[in-house]
Amino acid sequence: VDETGVEVPDWVTLFDLIPFFEEIKAARDNLHPEWADLPIISGLAGTYIELYYPNEMIANVAAVQVSGYEFFKGQGDGETVFNIYATDEYRNVAKLAKKYVDEGLAPYGKFDEDQAIFNSGALIGVLPQGYIEIREDMYPFTTRLKPANLSIMSTAYVQACMNAIPVQSKNPERTMMLLNLLNTDKELGTLIRFGIEGEDYALEENGHLDPYKGSNNAGVTSMNDLSYYIWYGHHFGNIVNTVLPNQVTPEFPTKLAALNDNSHQDGNIGFIMDPEPITNEIAACANIISEYHNTTYLMGGMVEDVDAAVDEFVAKLEANGSQKIVDEIQKQLTEWRKSVGKPTK
């Protein structure tokens, strides 16, 4: 970016970034003809349909619209369950994967498995998830973060970061005490994420901790080789209930709060479907999805006749009960939305 002068634009979906990828590839190839045959980014053809068309994925084939948006034409406003793989939007993503491979924006097949090309700075970057801040030296070149301008809070994401007391617990009161400690006791929050002070990390003058200065980490140069380091450690509760590592700034808690406060929360948060009536269908469709929806087939741009492949994919899903999944989840979602006063289909 610095070398070409091409600025990364503000973005909501990958559609906002495609002109940038095309422009910066042309500029890069002009400056470095030896890189002309290389793609500009390795993750452009991938399995993340939500980067193109944000949605709330409920289970397997079943998704709903992000309320307030119409990323999927004619699919309601969060109250209508649909088979995401049977949509025109999914078909378009599969076609785009092939288009970007054909045009050289994305790689075909296995590429740069040792990361040598990426580490050289020849590619524009990666499309990661879950970052609020990154260090400039995260990679062998100066790195910047450009997050999307749409953050969606959904049940699945909230569940991934929550703790609960099992109904079978013999000591629920003591369990609640432990959860309370994990979320409020800073010493425990630090211990469970970073280990023992002096051995696994050392405190800096600015109040942050440096894991590389722990006695157990003498000579360690890779974060993967640290003696004890679990960051964010979201499964341990409140991620700012800890001494912060020196890889983040003092503003990290404020940025996290702003991200949550400004996220899209007007969806189906709290709805959890009961899979029992459709367990067999979910399992059968999962096998079909893994066969077609992957980076070595439809999402990797490796299919010549995309329409025929998608038609075959959808037909197999339907033969294995995808409509039953949609109908059952629709029934459950409608009942839940009625119970919380939300509009229904």
Q: Are residues 183 and 319 in the same domain?
A: no
**Which CATH number fits the domain that encloses residue 305?**
3.40.190
* Count of domains forming the chain: 2
pLDDT tens digits for 306-333? 999 999 999 999 999 999 999 999 999 9
CB 292 within 8 Å of CB 298: yes
Whole-prediction pTM: 0.87
Average pLDDT over residues 30-55: 89
CB 61 within 8 Å of CB 75: no
pLDDT tens digits for 177-229? 999 999 999 999 999 999 999 999 999 999 999 999 999 999 998 888 999 99
Instruction: Identify the DSSP state of 245.
Output: B
Q: Are residues 318 and 221 in the same domain?
A: no
Instruction: Give, in order, the Cα–Cα distances in Å from 234 to each of 157, 161, 252, 281, 295.
Output: 11, 6, 14, 32, 28
Q: Are residues 149 and 162 in the same domain?
A: no
**Which of 235, 261, 287 is the endpoint of a domain?**
261
Q: Are residues 166 and 211 in the same domain?
A: yes
Q: Are residues 172 and 233 in the same domain?
A: yes
What residue numbers bound the domain in which 226 lies?
A: 158-261
Instruction: Give, in order, the Cα–Cα distances in Å from 154 to each of 54, 65, 129, 333.
Output: 11, 12, 15, 14
